[in-house]
Amino acid sequence: MSQRVGRAEKADDTWGTHYSEFDVDLKPLSGEGAEVAQADIRNALAHIPGVSFALKTFLSERVEETLSGYTAAVVVNIYGNDLDTLDAEAQRVAQALGRVPGATEVQVQSPPGAPELGIRVRPEALARWGFDAVDVLDAVETAFQGAVVGQVYDGSRVFNVSVILPPAARRNIADVRALPLRNAAGAFVRLDQLADVYATSGRYVVLHNGARRVQTIACNVAGRDVTSFVAEAKQSLAANVHLSPGTYLEFGGAAAAQAASLRDLLVHSVIAAVALVLLLWIVLGHPRNLALVLLNLPFALVGGVLAVFATGGGISLGSMVGFVTLFGITLRNSVMLLSHYEHLVSVEGMTWGPEAAARGAVERLPPILMTALATALGLLPLAIGSGDPGREIEGPMALVILGGLFTSTTLNLLVMPSLALRYGRFASGSGR
């Protein structure tokens, strides 16, 4: 286990000294085992007073940071002008979020109260001793934070040379007050003779988004899906939290990105479905045959829905992608069967009836089964380990496709020939 506190100079993570990260390496665990380990860690940290924390795997942390800038599944941004008002509203929103079932690790991202050392120069004292305010503050920065005064070259490597007071001379506030400063006349004056030096509290950062001041509340979700949690959280905030005039909130984070992705997927799927129906209409040439092809979609939907409910009953982005893929495979199998019926009647001259329906089903049995088996065997490893970390997308997708393939293939081979015999229209030559 390793720990990082604060941030290094010019680091990518812009956290303050109040922030720390612990890297904990776990033994290889299954999805359920990892959840149990995380629950044990949460229970251990929950007993530490005054500490807010969040547990994340490396991959989920990077994905959530890319989506919203925060390592949380749900992010609530409160916009306004007055910082004190934003802080008060953020605390109320955080309390309301914490009462929603499934909420865990609720945090206010920029809480006030960070310890600071304040230095306020006195203009009359500066004028009396002949100092300039900028020179005084620059000297304080050099003494206690350091300043680059040169560079040292070692071959092709360049090292900065910085000057700073030794650690023994910058241990507490008394050392800051006793800092000696020299004016143009050569006289030495202590810093506390020129400025008020005091301990105070403030903010390590003031958050902005789109040139607007913002206070952010982040939380994770455990024991339920994020989509239903966000829906219930919105209802709870609307009923229990009344914002001050001039402030408003919006939801963001991985939940908002997932909802946007689902909307885009649905819109694109509808456009593709319309184009596909038009193409099938042109190829099949008869509305009844087109209806038979589309009738196989409910066959696939049954298995996909049963697979979703058997694995928790939640619709995720991965399961939606699985449904889209499943419908494509199902339509292909239906078109293969009906096009072969068309071939038997129009090319080989068979009369459409029970014999043609049975022969077509038998001859299309191998390719349809091979398509289904090859797809199922390829997705089986993903489905077996669907709960493991890192398979949040591929796991639900594989389960939906496997469940839908089973029902669609079975019903396509057993039910579709009977429906085609009853409602199909196949004629020789151009008489269809």
Residue 159 confidence (pLDDT):
92
What is the fold, at CATH topology level, of the domain defined by 285-423? Multidrug efflux transporter AcrB transmembrane fold (1.20.1640)
Residue 26 vs residue 356, higher pLDDT = 356
Residue 431 confidence (pLDDT):
43
Q: How far apart are CA 305 and CA 293, in angstroms?
A: 20
- Whether 368 shows a pLDDT value over 80: the answer reads yes
> Which whole number is the average pLDDT over 39-43?
82
For 324-373, give the DSSP string.
Answer: HHHHHHHHHHHHHHHHHHHHHHHTS-PPSSHHHHHHHHHHHHHHHHHHHH
- Whether 385 shows a pLDDT value over 90: the answer reads no
Residue 428 vs residue 355, higher pLDDT = 355
Cβ–Cβ under 8 Å, residues 30 and 36? no
Residue 10 confidence (pLDDT):
66
Instruction: Give the model confidence (pLDDT) of 181-205 as tens digits.
Output: 999 888 999 999 999 999 988 777 7
- pLDDT band of residue 120 (cuts 50, 70, 90) is very high
If DSSP states are collapsed to H, E and C, what string results for 10-47?
Answer: CCCCCCCCCCEEEECCCCCCCHHHHHHHHHHHHHHHCC
What architecture (CATH level 2) is domain 114-202? 2-Layer Sandwich (3.30)
- Whether 363 shows a pLDDT value over 80: the answer reads yes
Instruction: Give the model confidence (pLDDT) of 153-168 as tens digits.
Output: 998 899 999 999 999 9
Instruction: Give the model confidence (pLDDT) of 140-156 as tens digits.
Output: 999 998 999 999 999 88
> Mean pLDDT across the chain, nearest whole number?
83
Q: How far apart are CA 219 and CA 77, in angstroms?
A: 12
Residue 166 confidence (pLDDT):
93
The top-scoring range by mean pLDDT among 315-324, 386-395, 415-424 is 415-424
- Whether 69 shows a pLDDT value over 90: the answer reads no
Residues 6+ apart with CB under 8 A from 151: 158, 159, 160, 161
**361 phi and psi angles, rounded to 5 deg:** -65, -40
For 227-262, give the DSSP string.
Answer: HHHHHHHHHHHHHH--PPTT-EEEEESHHHHHHHHH
Instruction: Give the model confidence (pLDDT) of 329-341 as tens digits.
Output: 888 888 888 888 8
Alpha-carbon separation of residue 374 from 165, 391, 408 (angstroms): 71, 21, 15
Residue 295 vs residue 177, higher pLDDT = 177
Residue 146 vs residue 6, higher pLDDT = 146
Q: How far apart are CA 220 and CA 254, in angstroms?
A: 10
Residue 346 confidence (pLDDT):
84
- Whether 174 shows a pLDDT value over 70: the answer reads yes
pTM equals: 0.59
Instruction: Give the model confidence (pLDDT) of 294-315 as tens digits.
Output: 887 888 888 888 888 877 656 7
Exposed, middle or buried: residue 278 (CB in 10 Å: 0-12, 13-18, 19+)? exposed
Residue 129 confidence (pLDDT):
92
> Quick one: tokens of 291?
């209806």
| Domain range list for the chain | 1-51, 114-202, 285-423
- Whether 288 shows a pLDDT value over 90: the answer reads no
- pLDDT band of residue 432 (cuts 50, 70, 90) is very low
Three-state secondary-structure class, residue 76: strand
Residue 66 confidence (pLDDT):
66
Helix (H) or strand (E) holding 207: none
Cβ–Cβ under 8 Å, residues 371 and 333? yes
Residue 26 vs residue 168, higher pLDDT = 168
Residue 331 confidence (pLDDT):
85
- Whether 63 shows a pLDDT value over 70: the answer reads no
- Whether 389 shows a pLDDT value over 70: the answer reads no
- pLDDT band of residue 263 (cuts 50, 70, 90) is confident
